[in-house]
Structure 1
């Protein structure tokens, strides 16, 4: 029972830690097994049209980082384990940061490397910021922390500090200011990528996992997420375990460590790092086994859901209606008392950096497009034309400046923590930055694709200039639409993330026993898919969503984006901009079955803002075929003098219906400005309008494999 030397755990402590980690995984497993059928039901409801997501217009870039497999590399001094060591650092195209003894090890293909964990980290070049973050990690230590820290005796004047929530800080010494900023920007991109990996996935397993984590923590009396929502499944669950262990580490284990008073901080960081590393290693192995076991049930569950989908959805709505009718007054009073007084002020504090960041991204894209148009007038090659787009890639200084505008001030974050009881705003900031960066990548990809298909060496400078301007106008129109949608979604999601934990903390313990009576409404055949606590959570979320949409509806004009296309003005008005959030909702929603004013339909699809096209369910094969035609219809080069391509054939107001396996897809209302981008026999959905399928002398329908009626 003697004191532990340095920050390393002895065999007994390791065994205890492994036992605790295994126990948490054992307790977590039922939650994950319980949530997978629920998430699968939600996914299938969306797939068949019970829920519809908000449409986006820009093409998705499947490969955001193009070119070389190496983004950045160099031989740098790295402070690690209390010593400065020369290491060869390499950032790959997959955003992995690899550390080796030398470049020779890399070139010869030896696997002698370590991969740095940067999820949730903060990267800075400021010594003051570094010291502040150190003080936060060691705030429980009384007196002077002392000891050699990463900023001590730096070999150069240009350090880059990396702070992970549960690992000892790293310090990288660069040789110049330019190199320092370059490494800072690239490492920030790595942090952003790894911290938002689950949000980008959005698949059934990810939804089930995040809900399982929420219910597991809720069972322990914790309702906030904080840093725990960042990273992969293994990192999220490891963070949950370490967060639960922190009180014992601080109060019981750390005081027993043998160390000099001058090295308290250093020893604590070493201890925390070792605990996190051991937990992460064990979780990675055991969680993989658990996830494999759980997902093996998916085919059977999916068959059952699809065969009884209408009955399950109807029963789900009936239970929600019963809960709403009985508890709507209590929920509304709770929302009015806890949420309403501070919701508007919180939104204004959120809207300021959000508007600034989105406006800056838009202006950045405009500037780069302007450079391309100016270059095009000189008759350069395609490679030279698109070269300005390279300035928007990973490590871009201008992009980093735009993303920095999305950061919220420290005093605002502190105010939210006091008002709402949230642990951290950092996940919100990272998710917003990731979404904005993906939007810009999509705009760049769309512009490049359009320009590639429009470009021809036979075009005169005047024709090339006209083609560039058409591409610019088309992409900017789509970007403006997606910016407005994204602004509403980010603001709404952030408010929901901030306010919902307080509502859950107030109502879940109070209503837990009362909700048990609704269990008898669930048929035994559907008990895997319908859980009262999930439905109650949805009811609370819907009530809060209604309140938030009211706030978004009253958005001041100063937070509205300046739009390129007047036809998008409708979407950008206070009456319409809020209706695009949430991003997905159900046509058969709780609110449509309930007479309560607390619950309302979450959203209307964007297409309804432009046309009264009938609701339709599109078969997957039809959707894929339309997506394959999308770029060609958008991007076909100008066909000067082509007799098969005339204005009279465009039929802008024509509505045609194609049928596939009993399902139909609307094809109508083509924008006249797209005449130069459409060729005979092609069709594409563009800007929410459905392009008529035209041929030579007669209309055509979109039938797979030549099946026509």
Structure 2
């Protein structure tokens, strides 16, 4: 595979990729430096003038995942090097970077992972059909047949695929649907978190970067939202380079790929990943140098801004008024004809799924509180309360529990509006809404815990249930206010994000040629902070902001989707509560003596901590009932054709049908260990009815003795104790009985003795047959019968060969009708016991049990 990459990406082509990346970064750097000064001006102005929206009613904690890991478990990974599935231990720390290890032991020892995946820009797929549909469009000019199979065969019917338009794909699979659902939620949360890679607390660098990317794409004719605006700035810049570079390389390299369709798709993915990694390494270094250069000038720019702020603001208002006179008439005409009729439709498409998602957040929080209250009322100990509070503290970061909330927003559909307003995909708005939902859930949980801590300190722990109920009602009321505020802000920003690019695209052809003449109105000293392009966009934004604000306000006045009016939300309504936000987080497990929360075992090491310190894990391990977790080392999955297609219900069956998961267990008692060292042989012999009463009076017991016994395999075992046990066995009919002599020989004879006896029996049979043939040659049949009877009588007498055994075994075939045998209805006693003495035993079945 490396040969494929090196053959198509030779030095000349790599130099071309480097040059293309350098050109794109040069263009972006010029725009970023300009936007950095503008963003610094806006930040300093906001700091001086103040202002802002409504104060949040809920508290916010800074580092909720400190000392935590998200998830760890085992799944199967497809290795492209040898095209086999191998078991991997996966750890997801609080950075949401996926790390794959050979085994759990390697992870616990702190070894480097085999693979590290940054999920920014990825998409999680759960079916091979969906993946096939995406890769069939990877190469130009190739129309794959419907139902064309991919180049990999999944080892189970529950795949998990990480797909990226440029980077390497990752293939996993699990064995049950339950595992697939949990892993899908975890992987989606990793993608969601890593896509949100631009820190909002950077009031200068983040807006400068986003505006620079937007203006750079607009200069290339790409307006509207961009679904690859995800990840850290270097990753976004790599996507920006690949947006134009990949189609060009694909058209050049694609026709030169050889082999079948699946092989060409595989080779192209390897080539695309190599190009992406090369571009990402360049964008990372160049962007870091760019930011370092801008930050070096920040102090001098900040001092100049604070000195000339009033003059800069006056100059900006003057130039904006001139631009407004040019742009506003055209903007209002476009707004009335092509935007206003669609604002309500766009808003409704955004409000319904988003509000259902925030309502589901409220319900999930309420259900968790009800569960805690139930356990408190049922008399659960304080240690249980500590466990519940620890799990509640991580509710917002539990992907599985939050999945129902996220699914509500995923139903957001802008079909019909996407084409008109050039919206690439609703994924941008879905991801943003889900991030806000998680923040609101964590704020509600954190506020509840701080209120409960305050109440316990002032009122004590006497009536815990009522105290929790009061705190819960207080938090839910504040959540309703904050949820309304956050959603309204989200709706306004989303409408602007959809409408403004469309209006700029429509107005730019007529307005952009007129903008350069306004640069003469800006003083040279202020030219770094006032850019004509930004002033033009601000005028367009102001023209549509009034209509957007009115649409959202009407929805709030009508109380649609539980939106509140702004006047109902009080500013600084609870100052005592916000003082609690400065208190440190409460360790509920330590306070109430609780154990580690769910899933704490198996977490990774705390960064910077010692070997003994471990992270508490947010999501529990996947363990089906009755099914062990055997994936503790790097195991190889057998060939696909050898893997049975088992249903999840079969794997989740009753434990009684499957036996112990760990196999045979070692004995726990002393007697069990002694039995393993000294094996026990049980001989079950019948006892006559008249002697059973005597035996039952005291014959049961163990007596020490010495001797040896020969086993069936010929080995002799030393006997130390003899235990006598009397049990009742039902008597069988004599018709069903076997010869007593045979039973006794089977009881006391070894294999060697039986072999000798069988040889002697064969010799006796042979002699008898020869004598019979001699007698048959005579003329008289009576003489023949007498000779035959005499021979049989001789066999009954003592002879070297064990003829008695022969007659007992084969009496039915060689006895004359004239011979008077014993009556079948009368059982005959058996003599000659085990030790040679004359012993009478009841002729019932004798069993031998070897333990």
Q: Contact 1:6/1:257 (CA < 8 Å) preserved in 2?
A: no
Q: CA deviation at 1:30?
A: 0.8
Q: How do residues 692-703 of structure 1 correspond to structure 2 at under 5 angstroms?
A: none
Larger mean Cα displacement after TM superposition, 118-127 or 276-285: 118-127
Alignment partners' CA distance in 2, 1:202 and 1:416: 32
Q: 1:294 and 1:548, CA in 2 relative to 1: closer, same or farther beyond 3 A?
A: same
Larger mean Cα displacement after TM superposition, 376-385 or 154-163: 376-385
- Deviation string 1:458-491 (CA, Å, 9 cap, x unpaired) is 83543x2332122112212221111001111122
Alignment partners' CA distance in 2, 1:634 and 1:391: 12
The TM-score, its normalising length taken from structure 1, stands at 0.75
Secondary structure of the residue that 1:520 maps to in structure 2? Answer: helix
Secondary structure of the residue that 1:193 maps to in structure 2? Answer: helix
Which position in structure 2 is the counterpart of 1:235? 235
Which position in structure 1 is the counterpart of 2:254? 254
- Deviation string 1:613-669 (CA, Å, 9 cap, x unpaired) is xxxxxxxxxx9x99656567999xxxxxxxxxxxxxxxxxxxxxxxxxxxxxxxxxx
Q: CA deviation at 1:509?
A: 3.0
Alignment partners' CA distance in 1, 2:254 and 2:79: 23
Secondary structure of the residue that 1:475 maps to in structure 2? Answer: helix
- Deviation string 1:29-83 (CA, Å, 9 cap, x unpaired) is 1111111111111111222235424321211122233554463232533354655
Alignment partners' CA distance in 1, 2:520 and 2:172: 60
Confirm or deny that 1:416 pairs with 2:408. no
Secondary structure of the residue that 1:198 maps to in structure 2? Answer: coil
Secondary structure of the residue that 2:110 maps to in structure 1? Answer: coil
Q: CA deviation at 1:97?
A: 0.7
Alignment partners' CA distance in 2, 1:344 and 1:70: 40
Secondary structure of the residue that 1:455 maps to in structure 2? Answer: helix
Q: Contact 1:77/1:174 (CA < 8 Å) preserved in 2?
A: no
Which position in structure 2 is the counterpart of 1:673? none
Confirm or deny that 1:572 pairs with 2:543. no
Q: CA deviation at 1:373?
A: 3.1
Secondary structure of the residue that 1:267 maps to in structure 2? Answer: helix
Q: CA deviation at 1:262?
A: 4.3
Q: CA deviation at 1:180?
A: 1.9
Alignment partners' CA distance in 2, 1:49 and 1:351: 32
Alignment partners' CA distance in 1, 2:571 and 2:317: 24
Q: 1:259 and 1:131, CA in 2 relative to 1: closer, same or farther beyond 3 A?
A: closer
Confirm or deny that 1:386 pairs with 2:386. no
What is the aligned length?
580
Confirm or deny that 1:91 pairs with 2:83. no
Q: CA deviation at 1:493?
A: 1.5
Alignment partners' CA distance in 1, 2:148 and 2:220: 37
Which position in structure 2 is the counterpart of 1:428? 429
- Deviation string 1:580-613 (CA, Å, 9 cap, x unpaired) is xxxxxxxxxxxxxxxxxxxxxxxxxx657999xx
Which position in structure 2 is the counterpart of 1:590? none
Alignment partners' CA distance in 1, 2:461 and 2:75: 48
Q: CA deviation at 1:193?
A: 0.6
Confirm or deny that 1:406 pairs with 2:409. yes
Q: CA deviation at 1:348?
A: 1.6
Confirm or deny that 1:475 pairs with 2:467. no
Q: 1:83 and 1:497, CA in 2 relative to 1: closer, same or farther beyond 3 A?
A: farther
Q: 1:128 and 1:558, CA in 2 relative to 1: closer, same or farther beyond 3 A?
A: farther
Q: CA deviation at 1:239?
A: 0.6
Q: 1:80 and 1:52, CA in 2 relative to 1: closer, same or farther beyond 3 A?
A: farther
Q: Contact 2:73/2:90 (CA < 8 Å) preserved in 1?
A: yes
- Deviation string 1:148-168 (CA, Å, 9 cap, x unpaired) is 737x32223322122223224
Structure 2: runs of 5+ lacking an equivalent: 587-851
Q: 1:364 and 1:312, CA in 2 relative to 1: closer, same or farther beyond 3 A?
A: same
Q: Contact 1:5/1:258 (CA < 8 Å) preserved in 2?
A: no
Q: 1:488 and 1:349, CA in 2 relative to 1: closer, same or farther beyond 3 A?
A: same
Structure 1 runs of 4+ aligned residues shifted over 6 Å read 3-7, 145-148, 556-559, 608-611, 632-635
Q: Contact 1:4/1:10 (CA < 8 Å) preserved in 2?
A: no
Q: CA deviation at 1:213?
A: 1.0
Q: 1:293 and 1:234, CA in 2 relative to 1: closer, same or farther beyond 3 A?
A: same
Alignment partners' CA distance in 1, 2:502 and 2:480: 34
- Deviation string 1:657-694 (CA, Å, 9 cap, x unpaired) is xxxxxxxxxxxxxxxxxxxxxxxxxxxxxxxxxxxxxx
Q: Contact 1:450/1:634 (CA < 8 Å) preserved in 2?
A: no
Q: 1:344 and 1:61, CA in 2 relative to 1: closer, same or farther beyond 3 A?
A: same
Which position in structure 1 is the counterpart of 2:291? 291
- Deviation string 1:344-383 (CA, Å, 9 cap, x unpaired) is 2222222221111111111211222222333344474251
Larger Rg: 2
Q: CA deviation at 1:246?
A: 3.1
- Deviation string 1:62-115 (CA, Å, 9 cap, x unpaired) is 223355446323253335465534333211111111123333433332335432
Which position in structure 2 is the counterpart of 1:545? 545
Larger mean Cα displacement after TM superposition, 355-364 or 116-125: 116-125
- Deviation string 1:277-321 (CA, Å, 9 cap, x unpaired) is 221122112211111112111111111111222222222223222
Alignment partners' CA distance in 1, 2:507 and 2:406: 36
Q: CA deviation at 1:384?
A: 4.1
Secondary structure of the residue that 1:77 maps to in structure 2? Answer: strand
Which position in structure 1 is the counterpart of 2:132? 131
- Deviation string 1:203-237 (CA, Å, 9 cap, x unpaired) is 31111111111111122222223123211101111
Secondary structure of the residue that 1:24 maps to in structure 2? Answer: helix
Which position in structure 2 is the counterpart of 1:34? 34
Secondary structure of the residue that 1:258 maps to in structure 2? Answer: coil
Secondary structure of the residue that 2:263 maps to in structure 1? Answer: helix
Larger mean Cα displacement after TM superposition, 520-529 or 367-376: 367-376
Q: 1:397 aligns with which of 394, 397, 400?
A: 400
Q: Contact 2:393/2:445 (CA < 8 Å) preserved in 1?
A: no
Alignment partners' CA distance in 2, 1:558 and 1:461: 44
Q: How do residues 201-212 of structure 1 correspond to structure 2 at under 5 angstroms?
A: 201-212=201-212
